[in-house]
Structure 1
Amino acid sequence: MNTRITEHPILGEQQTGTLVTFTCDGKELQGYEGEPIAAALKAADVMVHRYTKKDHKPRGIFCAIGRCTDCVMIVDGQPNVRTCVTPLKAGMKVQTQYGVSDKPFEEQ
């Protein structure tokens, strides 16, 4: 089953670009350059982007238009990056975030 997002409500139809490699929590994955990071993660069956600090609940894609904070992750060391609207680039280091801190989930 193909789980790749091919049309985004704000960004429009996604064109398939160059296949690139990036990491998520140390695991090497592939996606298409320029597609939202969240789309590449969903295609790789990665659905949890962060955990809430108070209740430790998993969060992932919710609004998919950059309005909420459910899909925020640490990208190349920068916390709170909205992955649903941030384009994927080759070599990106993406990490599951804990709350709204700059600490990856595994460090909590």
Structure 2
Amino acid sequence: MLEPDRPRVAVRFEGRELALRAGENLAAELLAAGVGPFRRTPVSGAPRTAFCMMGACFDCLVEIAGTNRQACMSEVVEGMEISMPATGPASRSEADDAGN
């Protein structure tokens, strides 16, 4: 549950400094700050952001300190370095291998 009185801490998303509430759900805080998209799909590059907010869809996948994590399953921590996962358009053979 969002607690509006929690202290705000500095985090960075794609180099942009944000003040988010410490301990809150990262996806909810990023959405409230107007951040989006969180990532792009590997095949078409379509933008994605938080959707299910319960860890099922992976649309909120972000990179936190070099590791891919679901933003909806992560809490805001001071000093977080968040970025879009390093994905680019996949080759047709990669897409076929992935079942797309």
Q: Which has the higher helix share?
A: 2
> Are 1:30 and 1:40, in contact at CA under 8 Å, matched by a contact in 2?
no
Q: Deviations over 1:22-79 (max 9, x none)?
A: 0000110011001111112112111211100101100001101111110000011112
Runs of 4+ in 1 over 6 A off after TM superposition: none
1:51 to 40, 58, 68: 40
Q: What count of residue pairs does the alignment treat as equivalent?
A: 87
1:39 to 22, 28, 33: 28
Q: Give the superposed CA RMSD.
A: 1.5
Over the matched positions of the two proteins, sequence identity in percent amounts to 30
Instruction: Indicate the residue corresponding to 1:71 in structure 2.
Output: 60
Query: Any stretches of 5+ residues in structure 1 without a counterpart?
Result: 1-12, 101-108
Amino acid at match of 2:30: L
SS at the partner of 1:38? helix
Larger-Rg structure: 2
Query: Any stretches of 5+ residues in structure 2 without a counterpart?
Result: 89-100
Q: Cα distance, 1:99 vs. partner?
A: 4.1
